[in-house]
Every structure is written in C-alpha cells, then in structure tokens.
Amino acid sequence: MSVELPPAGTYTVDPERSSISFTTRHMFGLGKVNGTFRVESASITVAEPVTRSTAHAVIGAGSFHTGTPRRDEHVRSAAFLHAERHPEIRFESTGVSRGAGGVWVVEGHLTIRGHRAPVELTVDSLSVENGSLKISASATVDRYRHGLTAAKGLAARLLRLTLSATADPAASSVQKTEAASAAESAEQREELPMSPKIAVIYYSSTGTVHELAEAVADGARKEGAEVRLLRVSELAPEEAIASNDAWSAHAAATKDIPIATPADIEWADAVVFGTPTRFGNIASQLKQFIDTLGGLWAQGKLADKVYSGFTATATAHGGQESTLLALYNSVHHFGGILVTPGYTDPVKFVDGNPYGTSHVNGQGAIPVDDTARAAAVYQGKRVAAIAARFNAA
C-alpha cells in the first residue's frame, strides 16, 4: 500500500480510465462470481487539511456485468437492483480519516435502489502521475443493508468492491482553503437526507449500563446518526454512594457526561433508554427523569419518535425482560414507536434477548463482554437506521 497525498484541488474521474470490479459468491457460497460496474461520473476534492476532502460518485446500476447474460438480467431486474427505476448507485463521502496502521479511509454513504447505508472505502494506493490521480480503493458492501435480500443463502450477502480510477484536475480547480472546502462539504451535507438525531439516556451506578450506553451510541454513530450520550441525575444520598467503592469510582469517572433534559428528548428523533434492574423494574433515577416529561407529553412532543431500551442485572434470571417491558409501558403512553432488536441480526441469536440489549454482571464480577457489546452496537445501528427511514418518509 502506498499513498502519496496529492495537491489540493478538484479532480474529475475519467470513466473511460476507471472501473469498479466486484467479487461475491453464489450457490451457497460454493461458486465465485466476478464482475464489473461502470463509473458514470465522479469527482474528488482534495482539501487542506486532507481530512476535509470529499468525494462523490455515480455508478450505473444497469452496467452490472458478469459475462453471464441471464444472471446479469436477473440482478438488474426488480428482484435486485431494479435498475430501470433506480438507474444510479450513488456514493457521497462524509469524512476522511487515518485508521489503524496508517490506512486512509473514506467514510460515506452508498445509496442502492434508494436505500442509503454507511460504507467505508479503504484507500489501497494513491499516486500522482503527470498531475492526475491514480487511485485504487476497496470496500465491503452488505447487500441486505440496502434492502437487496432476494436469494438469501443462495447468493452471498457481502460483495467485495474494488475501485480503480484515474482522475484529472478539473478545469476550474483552484487550490482550496480549509474554509472553502468546509463550505462546500456543508453544502453537500444539506443535499443529503438528514442524519437521524439519537439521544442515548441512561442511569448506571457501577458502570455496566454506562458501558452498554457507549456501545449503543457507537453503533448509532456508525450508522451516520448525530448522537447525544447523556446520563440522568443521581438521586441517591452522598453517604450511600461513598459506602460503595465501585459506585463512587463510577460517579467520579462520569461526572463530565452531560445530564439529560426534556429538551434533549424534544431534539431527538430516537431515544434509547438504559437502566439497571431494580427489583425487576427500572431504576428510580431514570423513572424520575421520565416523570419530568409530562410537559412534552401534554404537547404531543413525545409521540412519533423511535424508542428502545437496554438493561443489566446481577443474576441470569434477575428481571432483564421485566425491566425492559416496564420501560416500554411508558413508551406506549408517549405514543412512541418501539424499535426493539428482535432477532433481526445473527448477533441476537448469541445474546438472546429480543427485548433489548442486556448483560448479567454477577454483582460486578462479570464485565461487559463482546456478546453484550456487539448486541448494543447492533441495537444502536438498528435504531438509527429505522429513525433515518422515518426522517426520509
């Protein structure tokens, strides 16, 4: 991998010297399929700093080509890409960052058949030759996230895409200042459907629910959401907190996390509540916060939002489901739209709680593990994806 950072400016991709190839599998994963798409148009704006750079591309859905006419026709048909109605596959970048091992990553959204989902493009090589950019980049696309769920099991869910492109300096390209490119990307953001706004609001005494809240927030951000991670006010007396080392340490460690207010609920398109179990019910600290929402409820401002929940207990059958169901009672009174994880992803067959993410912490002896974390990230993503659909409707 070699990446030479090019001079700032706008570069136009030449479709004749560019291609997108893909690899996937069919026949229950036994056969390999290779093919190509055509880049219809694309441009890259390299900014200073380079992390403010932007890229967008239009790919012809009808250009899907594997060399097997019957298969190509089927994939272009309404069963998959529906190229007649959705002729363009679009990529819009949202950010550029340098990941692990110094690898450059272009984050963005890919819209296929009208379904927009996040994608990460890894820059495999980038060089400048006679003023033109030569770029090679790759990405993994999960077709299910774009609603292309036909032939489940028969055709693979993931496609590996490789972009090989040559981009020439645009005629009007000028060296861009940071301010100019920031203004341009703000303009581009305006054209995109609005990112969903998610409030993750939790109570935690000893940190378990806090860790789950971080993972839910992480999942929502990965889905392109704007996230506020907020805790509710502590109600317990100082002496009670001081008498428990884990509680006082956690209170000190999270004192800078902002306290949730009703205005945060009003702001949010979706709210994900987190609470430890208290005798099979939600914690009084979270209940107290919910009880401050009467004013918003009276104005109908709690209705028509997405809600979801997560929890933790000390013991395996200690009330995770009853706690989430108790929380969801209030959501019905709000007129909210309950979005639970169900068994909508393979991770849910591992953690096993369709009502929401939950973790058994064994009185502090069992830290949040990969199973609970994966379920929490998935819940955040799912809430953000469904909220985005309501935003777009």
Chain contacts with ligand FMN (rule: CB under 6 A): 204-210, 276-280, 312-315, 318-319, 361
> Which residue, 223 or 234, has its beta carbon nearer to ligand FMN?
234
Q: Closest separation between CB of residue 242 and ligand FMN, Å?
A: 15
Q: Kindly provide the b/e burial profile for residues 49-58, where b requires at least 16 CB atoms within 10 angstroms of the residue's own CB.
A: eeebbbbbbb
CA 98 from centre of chain: 18
DSSP letters spanning 65-93: E-S-HHHHHHHHSTTTT-TTT--EEEEEE
For 156, the 3-state DSSP assignment is: coil
User: Which of these, 180, 64, 169, 55, lies nearest to 112 by C-alpha position?
Assistant: 64
Tokens of 350: 């591992």
Q: Closest separation between CB of residue 318 and ligand FMN, Å?
A: 2
> Which residue, 152 or 317, has its beta carbon nearer to ligand FMN?
317
Q: Are strands 270-276 and 197-202 parallel, antiparallel or unpaired?
A: parallel
> Which residue, 143 or 210, has its beta carbon nearer to ligand FMN?
210
Q: Closest separation between CB of residue 313 and ligand FMN, Å?
A: 3
Q: Closest separation between CB of residue 203 and ligand FMN, Å?
A: 8
For 388, the 3-state DSSP assignment is: helix
> Which residue, 181 or 358, has its beta carbon nearer to ligand FMN?
358
Q: Closest separation between CB of residue 379 and ligand FMN, Å?
A: 16
Read off φ and ψ for residue 277, nearest 5 degrees.
-75, 135
Report CA dihedral (179, 184, 187, 188) to the nearest 10 degrees: -140
Q: Closest separation between CB of residue 276 and ligand FMN, Å?
A: 3
The Cα–Cα gap between 276 and 313 comes to: 6
> Which residue, 37 or 355, has its beta carbon nearer to ligand FMN?
355
The Cα–Cα gap between 292 and 151 comes to: 49
Beta bridge partners, 287, equal: none
In the bound state, the residue with its beta carbon closest to ligand FMN is 318
Q: Closest separation between CB of residue 212 and ligand FMN, Å?
A: 8
> Which residue, 117 or 213, has its beta carbon nearer to ligand FMN?
213
Tokens of 72: 């190509």
DSSP conformation class of 1: -
> Which residue, 92 or 214, has its beta carbon nearer to ligand FMN?
214
